Structure 1
Amino acid sequence: MIKFAYIKYTAILLLFVLFASCKKTNWQENFREKEKSPFGNYIISEEATHLFPREKITFLKENFYDFLLFDNLEDSTKTRNYVLIKHSAYHQTKEGTDQLLEFVSQGNSAFIALNFFNETFKEALEFTTNNLDKDVWSIKGLKKLEGEFYLKNPDFGKEPFKFDRNIRRNYFLEYSNTKTQVLGTTVVGGEKVPNFIKVYHGKGAFYLHTNPIVFTNYYMLNGKEEYAANLLSYLPSQEILWDVHTKSSKYSNNHKKQPSVFKFFLQHKTLTWFLFVSLAGLLLFMLFNARRKQRAIPEIPTNKNTTVAFTQTIANLYLNEKDHKNLVDKKIAYFLEKIRTKYLINTSNLNTEFIKKLAAKSGNNLQKTKYLINTIITLNKKTECSEEELIGLHKMIENFFKK
């Protein structure tokens, strides 16, 4: 049975370190085992020995595919647990997925908590997911996402585990009823939907969770360590392979090393001599031309036109005063000055001929150019301008010069 009391000691120590530090807190979700920021996995990995007190724990220093490829254990019949807690398994190739599926089918177990599972993996285990907050990435947006989780096992109680931030509404949508057991749920739209399942595969099983954020330092420091410990307690008592998932596979077909050009040259005697002679010739050329034959003629910079810079500076002064009309006038003056200097076009008469000439020289669409100039003419005639008109003009001018 997993213990979680020891986590509190590390949590208190880390909390002291965080408050004592003067550095700005990093609220990005990184799930790194050595990262002590709120959403790193430092505490859960440090306390793994207390969570699994009787089991050997191996933190993988290589890709799991490569580890299994050269895994020569004395007792091949011994079963093990695989643990992966990350945002997504982006280092896992198709070969790696196949190898993991084979690993579990032989009687091993795998605990995987991810925000996003790859399609090959979902197809093999016959499940789909629905992440209603997959497009929320900003720290401010994620902070608003709260969650309420339940565990089916009555030993863990009937009260919900409540989480106050970064809880995506991510759950299992479809799954095979014949080989899947729902172990935990989350509340989405007033309805309990599965976010923690057990999928039987061959002789082993996968334990899958859609909210890896519950294992991070933030929740280990906020009294939610019991929930994380309860989840991991489903794993059988056997050796743990903890995947830090920081390296790509060296042997997967998707990560084959490209052959070296120099190695190809050195494989052929004639090409080897050609390479050496070329390098020697290059060195001699650099040696005899190290000193310039003529002193460099200094470049005399042309006088700068400071009108544009001055206009921009004055325009920015009006931004603080919220004098939108003056700011619009300055933006227009800046635009027309740039047209005169960049395209050498007279801006005294903004007629049809001017619009056609400007569109042709700038490479912009005639219709968009016409719309921009008509907007400028309209705003020039107004005595007052709104903030929306100012923003619209600014965006049109920016897009015009991006062409």
Structure 2
Amino acid sequence: MRPNKYLLILLATILVYALFEYYRPKPINWQPTYENDDKIPFGTKVLYDLLPEAMQQPSVRTVRLPVYNHLTESQLPARSNYVFICRDFNVDGNDLRQLFAYVRKGNNVLVSAYYVPDSLGRVLGFKAEVKAPILSDTTLVNNFVNPNLRKSGGYNFFHDDGRNFLRLTKPQNITVLGRNARGEPVFIRVPYGKGQFLIHNLPLAFTNYYVLSSKTSDYAFKAISYLPALPTYWDEYQKQGRFDEEQQSILRYVRTQPALNWAYYLVVVGLIMYAIFAGKRTQRVIPVVEPPQNTSLDFVKTVGRLYFQQGDHDNMARKRMQYFLTELRERYGLNTTVLDREFTETLARKSGVSMEETAELVRMIRNAQASISLSEYDLLTLNRAIEKFNQTT
């Protein structure tokens, strides 16, 4: 079975595209992911790798579970820290109840995110004001309130315009740790029970780009210094979900790789187009019908060949004349009993053969009928004359 050419073209296109994407120089990915295994500018691998030393701990544990599951299903130490660095801090009512209970017992939570749920803000006494970014040549710098942590000129995170801030609704319970150039709070501490919440509204400050930049490298560690040196949990569920690398399926891995992801979409689109255009009902193969064979003619040829090989030329010549005269009777309705002049003229008129040729053929037949024995030469001569007559008619 020959392979379908459309399918081969599709597979070849996918292979060429995948190889091209794999080997071409990779552009810098400026997409903010805040993931602890991303080395791109706006990942958080650098901070995550340095965090154990900053917290004076042998390691920092990565959490790939919802807040509720982690706090109810894990064996936790007496006191610990829980760090969330993400774009959106998405928690539901069950998560918040467990988080409040966790902090009430004397633990600490650091949340650095642009979007913080109002349900958390109402309890702690703030509201996260998120403004649409604007195009400008300058951004609002951030700085710490503590004189020991302040930096002359402040910190400029120029990939963010710095216009977001935390509006305080219960300022009497809140300590402002950082402000922007307008004096608006951007980093606060809220005591809760025996523990504390640290709320920060610029997660970009904790990414690889700004942790490695000489102008902003100390900002993230100064912010983290408000956490006590305790066992620390780093949340990745908000960014990567439940499954780590060891639990990744093939499809999940494909979806995380840009080249493979585009190849995946190309396969899907190609299969859809193949189903539309090449999957139509095709014309069935028309069988070749052989024309009916004249077995009678084959039989005559076989018998004639047998007579000729046996040298019975006389018998064969007489049967050839008999067969020819029978054909004349069936075709022209002639009486072949007497081969006279009248018969010759009628045959010439009906067959369209000249009178001379017809008369010569009739004469040869009469002579052959009158002969006692016919030779091979007589047979061949008679057969050529009959064949010539038939071709002419």
- Scaled to the shorter chain, the TM-score interval is 0.5 to 0.7
Alpha carbons of structure 1 residues 103 and 127: separation in structure 2 relative to 1, 3 Å:
same
Alpha carbons of structure 1 residues 40 and 249: separation in structure 2 relative to 1, 3 Å:
closer
Alpha carbons of structure 1 residues 165 and 247: separation in structure 2 relative to 1, 3 Å:
closer
Alpha carbons of structure 1 residues 205 and 155: separation in structure 2 relative to 1, 3 Å:
same
Task: Write out per-residue CA displacement over residues 291-336 of structure 1, whole angstroms, 9 at most, x where no aligned residue.
Answer: xxxx9537xxxxxxxxxxxxxxxxxxxxxxxxxxxxxxxxxxxxxx
Query: 2:230 — aligned with what?
Result: 238
Residues 1:51 and 2:42 are matched in the alignment? no
Residues 1:170 and 2:164 are matched in the alignment? yes
Per the TM alignment, residue 184 of structure 1 is displaced from its structure 2 partner at its CA by 0.7
CA distance in 1, matches of 2:53, 2:206: 15
Percent identity of equivalent pairs: 26
Query: 1:115 — aligned with what?
Result: 114
Per the TM alignment, residue 38 of structure 1 is displaced from its structure 2 partner at its CA by 1.0
Query: 1:324 — aligned with what?
Result: none
SS at match of 2:141: strand
TM-score (normalizing by structure 2): 0.52
CA distance in 2, matches of 1:63, 1:296: 54
Query: 1:297 — aligned with what?
Result: 283
TM-score (normalizing by structure 1): 0.51
Query: 1:154 — aligned with what?
Result: 147
Task: Write out per-residue CA displacement over residues 70-115 of structure 1, whole angstroms, 9 at most, x where no aligned residue.
Answer: 1234x5xx1111111100123x222112211111111111111001
Query: 1:96 — aligned with what?
Result: 95
CA contact (8 A) 2:112 2:200 kept: yes
Pairs aligned (count): 222
SS at match of 1:183: strand
Residues 1:228 and 2:220 are matched in the alignment? yes
CA distance in 2, matches of 1:248, 1:44: 20
Query: 2:174 — aligned with what?
Result: 180
CA contact (8 A) 1:185 1:192 kept: yes
Per the TM alignment, residue 210 of structure 1 is displaced from its structure 2 partner at its CA by 0.5
Alpha carbons of structure 1 residues 144 and 28: separation in structure 2 relative to 1, 3 Å:
farther
CA radius of gyration, larger in: 2
CA contact (8 A) 1:182 1:196 kept: yes
Q: How does 1:1-400 map to 2 (within 5 A)?
A: 22-54=25-57, 56-73=59-76, 78-90=78-90, 92-133=91-132, 136=133, 146-159=139-152, 160-187=154-181, 191-223=182-214, 224-245=216-237, 246=239, 296-297=282-283
CA distance in 2, matches of 1:128, 1:99: 21
CA contact (8 A) 1:63 1:247 kept: no
Per the TM alignment, residue 172 of structure 1 is displaced from its structure 2 partner at its CA by 1.0
CA contact (8 A) 2:35 2:240 kept: no
CA distance in 2, matches of 1:54, 1:120: 32
CA contact (8 A) 1:180 1:200 kept: yes
Structure 1 residue runs without a partner (length 5+): 1-20, 251-294, 299-403
CA distance in 2, matches of 1:93, 1:169: 27
CA contact (8 A) 1:200 1:206 kept: yes
Per the TM alignment, residue 68 of structure 1 is displaced from its structure 2 partner at its CA by 1.1
Alpha carbons of structure 1 residues 115 and 142: separation in structure 2 relative to 1, 3 Å:
farther
Alpha carbons of structure 1 residues 158 and 49: separation in structure 2 relative to 1, 3 Å:
closer
CA distance in 2, matches of 1:63, 1:144: 39
Query: 2:384 — aligned with what?
Result: none
CA distance in 2, matches of 1:154, 1:63: 37
Q: Which one-letter code corresponds to 1:94 in the other structure?
A: G
Task: Write out per-residue CA displacement over residues 104-148 of structure 1, whole angstroms, 9 at most, x where no aligned residue.
Answer: 111111111001101211122121122222xx4xxxx67966231
CA distance in 1, matches of 2:197, 2:92: 18
SS at match of 1:208: strand
Aligned-residue CA RMSD (Å): 2.6
Q: Which one-letter code corresponds to 1:147 in the other structure?
A: L
Alpha carbons of structure 1 residues 177 and 55: separation in structure 2 relative to 1, 3 Å:
farther
SS at match of 1:47: helix
Q: Which one-letter code corresponds to 1:192 in the other structure?
A: G
Query: 1:395 — aligned with what?
Result: none
Alpha carbons of structure 1 residues 240 and 67: separation in structure 2 relative to 1, 3 Å:
same
CA distance in 2, matches of 1:27, 1:85: 17
Task: Write out per-residue CA displacement over residues 245-279 of structure 1, whole angstroms, 9 at most, x where no aligned residue.
Answer: 246689xxxxxxxxxxxxxxxxxxxxxxxxxxxxx
